[in-house]
Structure 1
């Protein structure tokens, strides 16, 4: 009598790109669903297809890496059934879920890099030589120099989860380029981080998740909560009513607010 052996994935044909150093993990199911939806993937799924030219394998998403000057970009960390971890761009993983994936020849430029992705740096044009006798450096007053310094100063954000107070300013829509649709967000004003040295953030935004919708927030309400803040500029929504457009730049995002209370 023939014995059927369990199927073991052939991992020898997969090129792994393991993450270097630490990476972000999901705090709970809502955080996972929020990020997966942001990447244009199905938030209700726990496994996704990783496809190559001649084979495909099931993978799970274990976390992500944040990079770029404004922390706008992510690299997804996937885990194969044999326990190996690998890095992949979320748009590339989304493309792999299509039934047509693999029919076209994948160019080398589309393959993810083994190193941490970087944002291209604009190349400066060579400076033109000027006659030092004819050109003079503009005079800058001490007062204007101090103002310029203050504007260029950047907030030093805590890396761990911290306690916040804020005022609900409005609801807005932001364009998600992964799933090509608008996502609803909450704009918060007078955001303050409470720790040994209080930090006044000003404006910030967060996803209007299922958890937040349960609180039925309204503009003008004062709230307090725990969360993690990162520098991530809010993108404007596309083809939306004026009431859902934020009129000024919002540079900071609060991830997965929890333990929310209304004052």
Structure 2
């Protein structure tokens, strides 16, 4: 760790990005442990409290004061960190996690160089030389066959607010979580329908197998009713998961924060 007075001397070199306004704090110690584990910053029994904020030529000690939420369904987080001089600043969880590595600063994993592909121009005709004559004659280029375009499926307008759903439990699955670098268990739902006039059929969707859902001891075939928000987010594949947790169908939607859950008999 850095000596405190040395860290404070670097405060003038740091570019702060203060939170826009009010941000989410931690309800208690358990809530803090749950969130830092979700972000991949600490999985120990005693959750880590101090972290290093690094630049190329210095580093400082920070603590996490809370987080902001963003995205259409508010499923993404930006951390609010506090420096030893009392200044607050925002930072992405993955970037703070990267700063904890000893190799940080040599080559950032978050910097990706995108190169434009080189286009090679080809002539419309090819020149063929015959053995009988020195003259050349152009060979016309073969005409390209145009494949018929597939008809696009009508785009579904998803509601931004919380709505009421009915769905059937299809199976359980595993999806890779890049924040904690582990597989998380999720529930795959089929026959997902938003209850409205007229009803909106979504087909397949997935949601986290949270503590709330585990209380219902779900099995495949269970009929559910619940409230929640839905987003267009394809199910990420898990890494090295058992066969029974592999999903064979595309799952394009995610249900966030299901509540008022009722299991029908």
The verdict on a shared fold, with TM-score over 0.5 as the criterion, is: yes
Question: What TM-score, normalized by structure 1, do the two folds share?
Answer: 0.68
Residues 177-209 of structure 1, C-alpha deviations (whole Å, 9 max, x = no match): 332221111000011122355321111111111
Question: What TM-score, normalized by structure 2, do the two folds share?
Answer: 0.68
Match of 2:250 in 1: 249
User: Size of the alignment, in residue pairs?
Assistant: 233
Gaps of 5+ in 1: 1-6, 113-118
Distance 1:138 1:24 in 2: 54
CA 1:136–1:172: 2 relative to 1, 3 Å: closer
Residues 101-122 of structure 1, C-alpha deviations (whole Å, 9 max, x = no match): 4x5551474579xxxxxx9878
SS in 2 for 1:149: coil
Aligned pairs for 1:132-171 (under 5 A) are 134-135=142-143, 138=146, 140=148, 145=149, 148-150=151-153, 153-171=154-172
Q: CA deviation at 1:221?
A: 0.8
Q: CA deviation at 1:124?
A: 5.5
Q: CA deviation at 1:133?
A: 8.1
Contact 1:23 1:64 in 2 (8 A): no
RMSD: 4.2
1:84 aligns with 2:95: no
Distance 1:41 1:154 in 2: 38
CA 1:198–1:179: 2 relative to 1, 3 Å: same
SS in 1 for 2:152: helix
Residues 158-179 of structure 1, C-alpha deviations (whole Å, 9 max, x = no match): 2222211110000111122332
Residues 79-106 of structure 1, C-alpha deviations (whole Å, 9 max, x = no match): 4374734132x2222344x5xx4x5551
Match of 2:64 in 1: 59
Match of 2:96 in 1: 93
Contact 2:36 2:47 in 1 (8 A): no
Bigger Cα Rg: 2
Contact 1:31 1:256 in 2 (8 A): no
Distance 2:115 2:160 in 1: 29
